[in-house]
């Protein structure tokens, strides 16, 4: 009986060791690819609805009665199969001239610095080239008249917001835009662009994230 027990214990220990080796060799999660500047597939132009941001960030510089509607959150390099590179070396600082240019695009200096460091460095364009690309991307998107800054709350379905953008920008494909909500409010509209900053289909994982039914679009602050 002791001999049988010993054999059984050896089998269990051997199986456990094999399982441990197997788990080390085959991780269950997919590792993020190494971030390399310029190595990406397309851009995601992210426009933030400033009044919603200001509901929870009242002390932010963009929330001091400037009356913003959509503002530039960022121009993000993306992978077609999902995910994105970030903080690509070398992490160079912005010059005074570049900061001046960036503040004509981003609503705050804090956001400018964050976006350059996390996303802009991965464009492979350098700071000046990245800011020029962000400027060009912003100019390519016409904000619908119905979504210009206004004094009262409005309510739309997420699909209605996407349709308004596509009506104002007919070349945006049906799968080239995503509407993002923060709870019951509109937070962002994301538009996909190819590396030449032309409207394009979005990659894996970029999709509308809002509840069903009407969502609130808060008024300007």
Task: Cite the active site residues.
Answer: 73, 115, 119
What is the C-alpha to C-alpha distance for residues 58 and 66, in angstroms, rounded to an integer?
12
Three-state DSSP at 139 gives: helix
The CA R_g of the chain, rounded to the nearest whole Å, is 23
Half-sphere exposure of 90 toward its Cβ, with a 13 Å CA cutoff? Answer: 4
Q: Identify which of 116, 137, 43 has the alpha carbon closest to the alpha carbon of residue 84.
A: 43
Q: Which residue has the tokens 């919603």?
A: 52
Beta strands of the chain (E only): which ranges? 42-49, 70-78, 154-157, 177-182, 185-193, 214-217
What is the C-alpha to C-alpha distance for residues 134 and 112, in angstroms, rounded to an integer?
11
């Amino acid at each position: 009986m002791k001999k049988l027990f010993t054999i059984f214990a050896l089998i269990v220990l051997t199986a456990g060791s094999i399982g441990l080796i197997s788990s080390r060799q085959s991780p269950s999660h997919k590792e993020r690819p190494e971030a390399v500047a310029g190595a990406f597939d397309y851009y995601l132009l992210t426009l933030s609805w400033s009044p919603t941001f200001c509901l929870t960030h009242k002390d932010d510089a963009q929330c001091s009665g400037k009356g913003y509607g959509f503002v530039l959150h960022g121009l993000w390099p993306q992978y077609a199969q999902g995910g994105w590179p970030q903080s690509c070396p070398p992490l160079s600082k912005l010059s005074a001239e570049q900061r001046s240019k960036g503040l004509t695009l981003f609503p705050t200096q804090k956001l400018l610095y964050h976006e350059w460091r996390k996303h802009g460095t991965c464009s492979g364009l350098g700071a000046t080239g990245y800011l020029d690309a962000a400027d060009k991307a912003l100019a390519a998107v016409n904000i619908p008249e119905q979504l210009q800054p206004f004094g009262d709350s409005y309510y739309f379905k997420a699909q209605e917001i996407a349709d308004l953008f596509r009506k104002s920008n007919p070349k945006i494909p049906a799968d080239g835009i995503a509407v993002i909500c923060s709870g019951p409010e509109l937070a962002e509209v994301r538009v996909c662009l190819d590396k030449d900053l032309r409207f394009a289909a979005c990659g894996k994982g970029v999709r509308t994230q809002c509840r069903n039914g009407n969502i609130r679009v808060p008024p300007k602050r």
